[in-house]
Amino acid sequence: MNEIQENPGSLEILQLGFYQMREAHLADPMPELETRRDRLQRLLKGLDEREEAFTQAISKDFGQRSAFETANYDITVTLADIKYQIRNLARWMRIRKRSVPLHLIPGRARIVPQPLGVVGVISPWNFPVFLSLSPVAGAIAAGNRVMLKPSEWTPKTSALLAELASEAFEPDEFAVFEGGIETGRAFSELPFDHLLFTGSTRVAKEVSNSAAKNLTPLTLELGGKSPALVCPGANLKRAAERIVFGKLANAGQICIAPDYVFVERAKFHDFIELLQIYSKKAYPRLNNNPDYTSIISVDHFTRLNRMIEEAREDGAEIISINPDGETLEPSARKIPPTLILRPNPTLSVMQEEIFGPILPVLSYEKIEEAIEFVQHRARPLALYLFTEKARERERILRETVSGGVAVNEVLFHCVCETLPFGGVGASGMGSYHGQAGFDTFSHLKPVFIQPRFNFNFFLVPPITPMKRLFAKIFRKLV
């Protein structure tokens, strides 16, 4: 193990790692296609070989994490993302020709994708492999050197990420820096050429302040309260089944999980019944169910229970879905799927991102009420729209703003490599995944090439009557 990974918490080691990478980048500022492919192949192989180790590490970090969810949401989607980048990298790297306006002919224009240099990635705990290695792969594909600071909440997984980096890469290609808050703070203060942060809005503000000292460009992937709108034209069973899936995967600890749902008042009780049916079908037992994931920490577990109790004390109806009536030990940190019916909008469950298996369900008389509710709140990372009617779909797409949208589905837009993934406003800035990630981690350098014979001599002093006439002709051509 190299010196950088042996002493990850030291500011000096962080700085040493950064400047090692900066010098390596200057020595090879535009890595060839095969070099980038080789790095991506090593990343792919390192992850594939450690699938079982990552599965066990993530489960230990969570207390219990569904191996099926880890296989699909952390491993498979990451492998698919890396493979997609390998397949398409040659096309993304090509010079992109652009047309020129008539008055600049015979000049030529092009865009040259150029590596930025050293990219920093700060990743969260909820999908500690996917949300770490997906942006790392994007930055590597773009030809950069990459430093990763994974979450301190998943220390065993972070250690495995560090092992992968140290065994598959040179320290000036890709390195992982473990540590807590102080390491994260020092990491965000490095003069990266680009920094991507995924996490909470509160921490994002601190990261932004640190990055601003160096004018470091940022991509912020945050979250917020992602609504699900069940329109009058929706298939109610389909909507309930998909919303249950999206809310209970990873026990709701997903930044794009449905955070609250609106359903037509006349169908409210039918929908509540369907939510319970599909929840019980998905998780008929909770205590010894290896596929029902624990809450990551005691602090998060306490916060979620506090949300439920606050709503109960306020008079909201609470439905705890516990099919076997099991007594759940607090040490297991498992919270039953919980519905909170028509909560007061001032409650914390309606003000804060939930990040757990709790679903507030609200009703509307007319769909305009739901649209207005969404419009007057911070722009979410995702919006889920359920309808079989094109008119309803197009209206809501037109009248709401969100980072991304899935129609008659949940979550899947995030793992569609051909779509950019990112937030807007309070839910983040910038995007990545697929070519969007390659472009985010590149400088798309505009280049104008003037041939030897051109018309610019008509525009330089001394100004003659002929040049004035030529300028007037130019004006008409613009």
Q: Please say whether the dihedral angle defined by the alpha carbons of residues 119, 124, 126 and 128, taken in this order, is positive or negative.
A: positive
Dihedral sign for Cα atoms in the order 395, 399, 400, 404: positive
> Residue 283 carries which side chain, given as an amino acid letter?
Y
Distance CA 17, CA 29 (A): 17
> Rounded to an integer, what is the distance from CA 74 to the centroid of its chain?
13
Catalytic annotation, residues: 221, 255
Q: Residue 427 in contact with residue 401, Cβ under 8 Å? A: no
- d(CA 453, CA 449) in angstroms, rounded, equals 12
From CA 189, how far away is CA 204, in angstroms rounded? 13
CA 68/CA 332 separation, integer angstroms: 19
Backbone φ, ψ for residue 205 (5° rounding)? -65, -40
Locus of tokens 């197009």: 394
C-alpha–C-alpha distance, residues 403 and 331, integer Å? 36
C-beta neighbour count of 371 within 10 angstroms:
19
In sequence order, the β-bridge partners of residue 122 are 149, 197
Distance of CA 10 to the CA centre of its chain: 28
Residue 233 C-beta-side C-alpha neighbours within 13 Å: 13
How many C-beta atoms surround the C-beta of residue 180 within 10 A?
12
The first and second tokens of residue 423, run together, are: 């937030």
Helices (H), 3-154: 3-6, 11-27, 33-49, 51-62, 67-69, 77-93, 130-141
Buried b (16+ CB within 10 A) or exposed e, 190-218: bbbbbbbbbbebebbeebbebbeeeebbb
